[in-house]
């Protein structure tokens, strides 16, 4: 069983979250976070189990490039988390759909990117709460920890780094059904 930690945001919403084990396991970690918040329990699986399951579907997780959202969507469906992938090129549409579709026990898996040493690096996070009108978002980030942010589609995680990254959501999202 994967032991999750709980996080309560300033609006008294409580989430289960998890810290990824390696630099490239954000996708599998997010699958565990998604499952835990949909089912309100700690998952029996661990990152290794999610990675093994990923191999049953096209474009599986690998240690060099990480995960791909359609693969993780198939993994989540197999883990009893029904979902659908959508891609938004318009930031207003992305914000509106996150606002409309993210709710208690219905988190969304979202893909973001940032630039590191002139290379683009991808990163998965879970959106646990979305309020576009108030510009309030709760991000369950397996690398940086839970974050309450504004300004989506850009995301500025609070870290100990002297130059924290600026993540930009690509518009690729797996919504829980």
Quote helix, strand, coil % in the chain, to nearest 5: 25, 35, 40
> pLDDT-based confidence at 14, cuts 50/70/90?
very high
List the alpha helices (DSSP H) in 65-111. 69-78, 91-101
pLDDT at 116 over 90: no
Q: What domains are defined for the chain?
A: 5-176 (3.90.70.10)
pLDDT at 112 over 80: yes
- Please write the tens of the pLDDT for every residue from 23-32: 999 999 999 9
Mean pLDDT over each residue of the chain, to the nearest integer: 95
pLDDT at position 161: 82
Q: For the whole prediction, is pTM greater than 0.85?
A: yes
CA 56/CA 115 separation, integer angstroms: 31
């Amino acid at each position: 069983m994967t032991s999750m930690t709980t996080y309560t945001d300033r609006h008294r919403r409580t989430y289960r979250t998890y810290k990824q084990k390696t630099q490239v396991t954000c996708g599998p970690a997010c699958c565990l976070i998604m499952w835990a918040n949909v089912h309100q329990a700690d998952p029996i699986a661990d990152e290794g189990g999610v990675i093994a399951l990923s191999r049953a579907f096209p474009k599986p997780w690998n240690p060099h490039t990480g995960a791909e959202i359609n693969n993780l969507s198939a993994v989540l469906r197999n883990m009893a988390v029904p979902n659908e992938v959508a891609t938004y090129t318009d930031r207003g549409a992305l914000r509106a759909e996150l606002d409309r579709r993210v709710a208690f026990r219905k988190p969304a898996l979202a893909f973001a990117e940032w630039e590191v040493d002139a290379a683009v690096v991808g990163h998965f996070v879970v959106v646990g709460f979305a309020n576009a009108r108030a510009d309030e978002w709760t991000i369950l980030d397996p690398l940086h920890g839970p974050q309450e942010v504004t300004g989506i589609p850009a995301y500025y995680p609070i870290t100990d780094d002297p130059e924290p990254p600026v993540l930009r959501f690509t518009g690729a999202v797996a919504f829980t059904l």
